[in-house]
Structure 1
Amino acid sequence: MPESGKTKLSLTTNLDDWQVSDSTEYLALSGTQYHVRDDSHEIYVARHLGLRLLIPALVLTRALFMPNAIFFNHLYRPSSLDQLVAPVLRATGLVCAPVHRDLSRRIGATVSGPTRVQWMYCFPSAREAFASVYANALRRAIRLALPKLVGDAVLTGTLHGRVFAASAMSLHRLEPNEHAFSWAGEQPTQFILPSADRSGTQLNAVLKNSELIEGPNGWRLADSEWLRLNHIIRANPTDGPNDDRAIVDAILIKLATGMGWRSANGMVEGATRVSSFYQNLRRSGRWEDFEAALLCLRQGKKLAPLRPRQDAVLFPHNPRIRLRPRKTL
């Protein structure tokens, strides 16, 4: 399958469920053949909507410790959070304040800086993750101790079949899976990290269908499904081969994962073939029929006979138009 262009994927993920891998597969997907015994860059593997997500340790580090321009000056030095921020007791509870005035100005100027620092300072695994970056760097390794949390994230990367290789990550909500330090008192159960760029959190909500379910071949159509449903896509198929099935597979993956149309179009040769085909199916009403029939099959229900709508007439002479509204005089 051809590699897709850059796309975004939103998800809620539990870092406790992530697995650790080396960078061989990630680099191979980028066209780099790399084999070494002691791999220095850890890759984390998560799963979402039938996709296998590959997230490099550096991508996660950049997402956790923002703003990078401030924290990266301290992550790779023998320093700790105590040299950056200090606890301040207020009526609402314990909060954290930057030690130096310059740091206070720079962290406070960022949208999510103060909230993120609060989480880093008051929770054990967050502080451990911070310290582990430098400890691993001394071993010439890029890895970190995964913090215990559930997060709302947006990944940017490329889709290779059912594998998503992430190149960037942003976090918009953190929900710790642990208690804060006892001295930290009562802390929030979740931390909202507002961002100036939330474009990835709503990935074409109209064009993402959460009701779709996987079949025997994942999001793609199985042979038996295509055999029973292909007549809905093209009621009067023309002679000669066509790639309708590949296009429908790309549409299903797009609607299930929320990936962009650019990536979906990249699955089939032709600049906009997938998106154009989908628009034509929607206009004719065929996609709704196909989607409903596919859901019945995957749920093990009996297929209802397909009937034209009352306000439509059939045009069997044109294989691209099955239903068209009646003209009113």
Structure 2
Amino acid sequence: MEWLDGFEMQCGTLVARLVTNVGIRFEDNLGALAKIGVPDGDYEWRAPFTTDFADWTCATTEGYLGAFPSLVDASTSGSHQIFRFRHGWSDFLVPALVLFRALFPLIPDAFEYAFTPRMLELLCQPLENDGHWSVTLPDFKGVYRGRDRPSTRESLTWGSLFPSANNAWSSVYKNCCRGSFSMSLPLAQARILPIGIRRGRTVHVTSLSIGAVLALETPFDFASGAANSFLWNRNASPLEPHTNHYQEPAIHRQTSSYTRLTDAEWARVRHVCDPAQSLKGRKPRDCRRTIADGLLQRYVTGSPWKEIAQMPLTPNALKVHWYQWRKDGRFEVLLKQAREIHGIA
């Protein structure tokens, strides 16, 4: 069990001071704070609810750590900001680190960018497509390229387009340089699901899940007209009907449907899809054309695997081919050829 008690400068390097039940330890890998620094909890609120950050106030560190006897005596600095808000008959105490993790769900390699002076511009850049917005992200050893992380992209898009969200990110580094972990609250509403320890009518939150966010402000001038509703979870209910829904440049931008490759089109891209013959001379078990159709439909529509695999291929098999074709570069070449066929740059 650990608690982020604050920050110190050691040999010119910013390090985190962590309180444990056996003493104090220092952590120089600040990206690791994406996974550590807050006690564990097992109480889960039964249903998500909506909260307005304007209703949140500050509480004391001692009040929050009162639910964790092994930590309350060790931490006396009060350098970790605690937020308080009420929902129904319950009071919720939320550490700033828990809130920041929920607002910006990042892998450790990206989380450490919160502790740099150049703010979000060092991590990502806004990207616009037909009025919808997203961000570009580094590869991070294939983590973001290999799987879809809508929560990461939507949260960073929100942080890049709206002033108070951007300030919430940048305030973390400024306050860490002063020795504390605290942040500015954004002008927004969020649908949340808290997890923590209940003591009477107070819930000491240790983990927070955000499904949707609604910005209550106008975006930066360069993003004028951008949607102010975002979904961290595609299955969540939006707080406003018109949500930001960025789609990568597709083969057919004018429609969300997809028409399978014709015989002429398949003849032009077939050489891309045929893998090198194996040493044992075995033929591929699955039809290359069927796979190509399924992968292109997935890319264009973003439909679930079970809806795409209306063919001899199972959803799991098609998913395996998706990762394999992207790994060996076949899908990128196929996509380039398909764009050339349809006259898309």
- TM-score, scaled to structure 1: 0.53
1:44 deviates by 0.3
Q: 1:192 aligns with which of 220, 225, 231?
A: 231
Q: 2:153 aligns with which of 111, 114, 122?
A: 114
Contact 2:134–2:154 (CA<8 Å) still a contact in 1? no
Note if 1:41 corresponds to 2:84.
Answer: no
Q: Which residue of 2 aligns with 1:28?
A: 66
4+ long deviations beyond 6 Å = 195-198
SS in 2 for 1:142: coil
Contact 2:139–2:145 (CA<8 Å) still a contact in 1? no
Contact 2:190–2:212 (CA<8 Å) still a contact in 1? yes
1:109 deviates by 2.5
Contact 1:85–1:99 (CA<8 Å) still a contact in 2? yes
Cα 1:103–1:122 change in 2 (3 A) is farther
Q: Which residue of 2 aligns with 1:220?
A: none
Count the aligned residue pairs.
195
Q: Which residue of 1 aligns with 2:4?
A: none
Q: Which residue of 1 aligns with 2:125?
A: 86
Q: Which residue of 1 aligns with 2:312?
A: none
Note if 1:57 corresponds to 2:99.
Answer: no
SS in 2 for 1:40: coil
The aligned amino acid for 1:22 is T
Distance 2:146 2:158 in 1: 14
Note if 1:71 corresponds to 2:120.
Answer: no
Which deviates more, 28-37 or 100-109?
100-109
Q: Which residue of 2 aligns with 1:218?
A: none
Note if 1:8 corresponds to 2:42.
Answer: no
1:77 deviates by 2.2
Deviations 1:79-126 (A, max 9, x none): 321122223343224543226686893596323222222101000011
Cα 1:93–1:163 change in 2 (3 A) is closer
Q: Which residue of 2 aligns with 1:96?
A: 135
1:238-317 alignment runs, 5 A limit: none
Cα 1:108–1:174 change in 2 (3 A) is farther
Deviations 1:33-87 (A, max 9, x none): 4498752011100100111110111110111111242431211122321122223
Q: Which residue of 1 aligns with 2:334?
A: none
Cα 1:130–1:108 change in 2 (3 A) is farther
SS in 2 for 1:13: strand
Higher relative contact order (CA 8 A, sep 6+): 1
Identity %: 25
Q: Which residue of 2 aligns with 1:136?
A: 175
Deviations 1:15-50 (A, max 9, x none): 111001221111112224449875201110010011
Superposed CA RMSD:
2.8
Cα 1:191–1:117 change in 2 (3 A) is same
1:174 deviates by 0.2
Distance 2:126 2:110 in 1: 18
Cα 1:103–1:96 change in 2 (3 A) is farther
Q: Which residue of 1 aligns with 2:11?
A: none
Contact 1:14–1:149 (CA<8 Å) still a contact in 2? yes
Distance 2:196 2:76 in 1: 27
Distance 1:15 1:103 in 2: 35
Distance 2:99 2:54 in 1: 14
